[in-house]
Structure 1
Amino acid sequence: MSKVVCLTGYKSFELGIFKQDDKAVYYIKQALKKELIDLLDNGLEWVLISGQLGVELWGAEVVFELQEDYPNLKLAILTPFINQEEKWNEQNKEYYEMIVSQADFVESISKEPYKNPQQFRNRNQLFLQKSQSLLILYDEEKEGSPQYFFQEAKKIKESNPYFEIRTISFDDLQWVVEEEQWKS
């Protein structure tokens, strides 16, 4: 059975991050890398994202980095609708295109541009059907866009005890920061 993890979390602006070289991005990537390596050691083959700015695209960068040591690891980007990056600024569009160009599979779930929130619900449902686990940067103390995905995943977990939810909280990130500072 092909092991697929759905990776998601906060959008960059929800975390107050507006630059790719923000030190926080480094620590988030380290936390994602740690979890992905653990999943790889347990048979992970595909990482599935929808291509949102923030945790998802940073996760894609981590996948590209890990592919050097794990050449069988693949990245799929399934956007909720076509042209999701249409209203983004030029810098974000270029960054997105760079990620998309390296992905192993790219497709839009809805073949139409954004119409309504149902397109996001459809994405959540499809992602949860196609994956065996969820890796999410989410802290229940700070609501934000990931809360809807997290709630759907918890429902799946109730009916499927084999579905795994791996949460990276702000406390977990703090541990990563301290661990990294300890190393240097």
Structure 2
Amino acid sequence: MDRIWMTGFRSYELGVNGAKDPKLAVIKFAIERLLRTSIEDGADWLITGGQMGIEQWAIEVALDLQATDYPEFQIALMTPFAKFGAQWNENNQEKLNQLKSRVNFSSTVHQGDFGGRAQMQAYQRFMLTHTDKGIIFFDEEATESKARYDDTAMREYAENFDYPVTRIDLDRLQDYATEYQDLQWDN
């Protein structure tokens, strides 16, 4: 079994405003390339959270891949606590609930309300010990990004365990944008 934890920037950290934002097409293109490569290399599970941004987009892309090319690929949505997303607006809550209903497995790591930084660190430990590699969309220059905590956790874990981490920084994302644009011109 080969399980991937994909996480990273929140949508607002990337300045993505809605489903029609051109940046989203590039980001989903990058996610799709990464997932296809991982699946072809033997990955059989995507395990991620439900944060708006990379995590939800990864689930959407994985669901599309599962429906078209990789029906055996499995998707799990693991939230850090039971009332995760309850403070979001109605549309965002509905989107999270739809994703939960479409994945192969959905659960919460900790029962109850948000319990602070220690709870989030326990969630990170859970994700690290239940996956075999990490893919994170994160850039060192993004000092305000909440993805920094996951990046640090992945890197520290990889120092002690066989846990490959692929970081997609803004330069690498620009490479995907160029590749995406080239493909658009070819079609």
Q: Same fold (TM over 0.5)?
A: yes
Amino acid at match of 1:134: G
Residue in structure 2 matched with residue 26 of structure 1 by the alignment: 25
Deviation at 1:21, TM superposition (A): 1.8
Moved over 6 A (4+): none
Q: Which residue of 1 aligns with 2:108?
A: 108
Residues in 1 aligned to 2:17 and 2:88: alpha-carbon distance in whole angstroms: 13
**Identity across aligned pairs (percent)?**
27
Instruction: With the length of structure 2 as denominator, give the TM-score of the two structures.
Output: 0.93
Q: Secondary structure at the match of 2:3?
A: strand
- Write the deviation string for residues 79-134 of structure 1: whole angstroms up to 9, x where unpaired: 11012111101111121112111011111111111121222111100101111100
The aligned length equals: 182
The 5 Å alignment of 1:24-63 reads 24-63=23-62
Counterpart mapping for 1:107-146 below 5 A: 107-143=107-143, 144-146=145-147
* SS of equivalent residue, structure 1 residue 47: strand
Match of 1:148 in 2: 149
Distance 2:86 2:153 in 1: 27
Counterparts of 1:25 and 1:100, CA distance in 2: 21
**Which residue type is aligned with residue 135 of structure 2?**
L
Unaligned residue ranges in structure 2 (runs of 5+): none
Structure 1: which 5+ residue stretches go unaligned?
none
Amino acid corresponding to residue 63 of structure 1 in structure 2: A
Alpha-carbon distance in structure 2 between the residues aligned to 1:18 and 1:92: 13
Distance 1:153 1:48 in 2: 14
Alignment of 1:53-92 (within 5 A): 53-67=52-66, 68-92=68-92
Match of 2:177 in 1: 177
Amino acid at match of 1:58: W
Give the residue type in structure 1 aligned to 2:132.
Q
Mapped to 2, the partners of 1:147 and 1:182 lie a distance apart of: 31
Deviation track 1:41-63 (CA, whole Å, cap 9, x = no partner) reads 11101101111111000000010
Match of 1:165 in 2: 165
Alignment RMSD: 1.1
